[in-house]
A and B are shown apart, each in its own frame.
Chain A
Amino acid sequence: MNIHTLANHLNSLGNNSQTGFQFDCYPIDGEVEVLQVNVVGREEIPVFVSVTDNQILCISYLWGENEVNQERRSEMFETMLELNIPMPLSAFAKIDDKYVVYGALSLQSSMLEIEQELAVLSDNCLEVIDEMVDYLK
């Protein structure tokens, strides 16, 4: 599994995806290869995919620490913890100063499973922002 085969697959799906979404993928070169997956219609909130030695990581950025209403920060944390299990397939995390939702998949995952992961992650992301926007400035 590498991000190029994944990109080719997702780009070739067109209107025939199982999830009803269309995907636009752009590999980003760097020390670690990352695939930017844009869900058509949701380009503002892309999903980033990287493949490590033992898993496929799909990450979407929610908001930065600078967007958080600091007075309601601990309330936000509590809500995140409470939503962590009900939220299907994804979990909350923090990378540097950014809050994210992410899903980790086995390297043996099928293309369909990855597609579903991306779709669910994107849905979760929108829903989380919609639900938690009150904690933001």
Chain B
Amino acid sequence: MGILNKILTAFRGGATEVGQSIVDANSTRIFEQEIRDAEKHLTNAKRELTDVMAKEMQASREVDRLKRSITEHEGYVAQALDKGNEALAIEVAEKIAQLEQELAEQQTANDSFSAHAVRLKDLVKKTERQLSDYQRQLSMVKTTESVQKATATITDSFASSNSKLLNAKDSLERIKARQQQFDDRLKAAETLAEEGSDKSLQAKLAEAGIGEQKSNANAVLERIKARKS
């Protein structure tokens, strides 16, 4: 059961009234502390993992070295036998037995480091998943709380300023009416401007050939000719 369920339960339980919060502040603090603890564990686990992986690499190098050394000494045994020096061959063989003993120990250590590293990697992955889940849940609780507090703030503000949020229909009507009024005024102003400039009347008169006519080249020519004659 996740945090969503808790939030819904709290809503339905009527915890939405002003002053009551979804999850009390104390448990949010505890939750935050848990997240910090988990983060600390994660850091430690990662550090430990680094150590273990370093040791694993070291052990693995040691295993390789011992194996090489054993092969080398086996060669020496063969050479000693070839030369009929059995005493030396036994001495080297003893050394090999000692090396094999060491190899077995190193191999065990190496295996144990590897297994430990795998366990730690699993743990780190699991903790990281858990941590991000905690953080997601905390963010949900905090957002819910914040929205509720904001709502309370808004409600208080409207109550104290004696203004109130209108109902949706009235609000829309008023906004639309204002917009309409603005549009009407704009249109009226345009019409008025057109009429006021006499542009329309002058244009109509000119079109009808009434009133002052624009002089044109022909008229000027006629006038001058008339003056001359």
Using a CB–CB cutoff of 8 Å, the interface residues on chain A facing chain B are: 28-34, 36, 41-42, 44-45, 48, 50, 52-55, 57, 59, 61-64, 67, 95-96, 98, 126, 129-130, 133, 136
Contacts and interface: CB of A to CB of B under 8 A. Distances in A.
7 closest A-B pairs (Cβ-Cβ)? A30-B153, A44-B171, A63-B168, A32-B149, A50-B150, A28-B157, A52-B146
Given A30-B157, A136-B169, A45 B147 contact: no
B175 A28 contact: no
A67 B167 contact: yes
Interface in B162-197: 165-172, 174-175, 178-179, 182
Contact of A48 (B148, B154, B178): B154
A68 B131 CA distance: 42
A45 B166 CA distance: 8
A41 B172 CA distance: 11
Contacts of A53: 139, 142
A30 B156 CA distance: 9
Given A63-B168, A133-B169, A30 B152 contact: yes
A61 B165 contact: yes
Nearest to B142: A53
A64 to B, nearest CB: 7
- How many B residues are at the interface, by size bracket? 20 to 34
B69 interface: no
Contact of A96 (B16, B139, B171): B16
Contacts of A98: 151
Interface string B103-130: 0000000000000000000000000000
A54 B138 CA distance: 11
A31 B175 CA distance: 31
Interface of B: 16, 139, 142-143, 146-154, 156-157, 165-172, 174-175, 178-179, 182
A34 B168 CA distance: 21
Contact of B172 (A36, A55, A95, A129): A129
B167 A64 contact: yes
B142 A45 contact: no
Contacts of A126: 172, 175
Interface centre among B142, B154, B170 (most CB of A within 10 A): B154
Given A32-B149, A52-B143, A133 B154 contact: no
Given A64-B167, A129-B168, A136-B169, A45 B150 contact: no
Contacts of B172: 44-45, 126, 129-130, 133
Given A133-B168, A133-B169, A44 B150 contact: no
B148 A95 contact: yes
A134 to B, nearest CB: 10
Contact of A129 (B152, B171, B178, B182): B171
Contact of B153 (A34, A57, A61): A34
Contacts of A29: 153
Contact of B143 (A55, A67, A129): A55
Contacts of A59: 147, 150
B152 A31 contact: yes
A57 B143 CA distance: 9
